[in-house]
């Protein structure tokens, strides 16, 4: 089955710096890659997703890149703000998300 590895487990940055979180997956059949943000005590919320027919997607300060050959994808946050502090989860799965497998999470802290 699918296995998703996520690094780093914790990441501390200064406000205004960039943050990068990386994930690798094992199942070459996976073709949907969402990213979720979970603030303390709250539900995970989708922040961006990418499908296998696209190499990069951007939404304001957030971007995701996908390398299907190497089976890895990354989340990039630019101009970080304290409200970006949260745990971020990557996930991989087939189009219909029946078996969406999550990474182990990255705790991002943005210091003012």
Partner 1 sequence: EADIYQTPRYLVIGTGKKITLECSQTMGHDKMYWYQQDPGMELHLIHYSYGVNSTEKGDLSSESTVSRIRTEHFPLTLESARPSHTSQYLCASSGDGSSGSPLHFGNGTRLTVT
Q: Which is nearer to partner 1, 1 or 112 (CB)?
A: 1
Least distance in Å: CB of 95 to partner 1? 4
Applying CB under 8 A, does 99 fall inside the site for partner 1? yes
Which residues sit opposite 109 in a β-bridge? Answer: 12
Instruction: Identify the bridge partners of residue 57 per DSSP, sorted by sequence position.
Output: 64
CA angle, 87 then 93 then 95, to 5°: 120
Nearer to partner 1, 81 or 104 (CB): 104
102 binding partner 1? (CB under 8 A): yes
Applying CB under 8 A, which of residues 1, 60, 83, 112 lies at the interface with partner 1? 1
Q: From the list 11, 20, 62, 87, which residue makes contact with partner 1 (rule: CB under 8 A)? A: 87
Any contact of residue 103 with partner 1 (CB under 8 A)? yes
How far out from the chain centre does Cα 46 lie?
10
Query: Binder to partner 1 among 7, 51, 58, 61 (CB under 8 A)?
Result: 51
Q: Does 101 bind partner 1 (CB under 8 A)?
A: yes
8 Cβ neighbours under 8 A, 6+ residues apart:
21, 106
Q: 82: helix, coil or strand?
A: helix
Q: How far apart are CA 104 and CA 19, in angstroms?
A: 17
């Amino acid at each position: 089955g699918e296995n998703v590895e996520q690094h780093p487990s914790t990441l501390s940055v200064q406000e205004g710096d960039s943050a990068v979180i990386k994930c690798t997956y094992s199942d070459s059949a996976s073709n949907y890659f969402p990213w979720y943000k979970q603030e303390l005590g709250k539900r995970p919320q989708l922040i961006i997703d990418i499908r296998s027919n696209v190499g990069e997607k951007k939404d304001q300060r957030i971007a995701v890149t996908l390398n299907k050959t190497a089976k890895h994808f990354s989340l990039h946050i630019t101009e970080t703000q304290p409200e970006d502090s949260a745990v971020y989860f990557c996930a991989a799965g087939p189009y219909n998300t029946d078996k969406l497998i999550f990474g182990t999470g990255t705790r991002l802290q943005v210091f003012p």
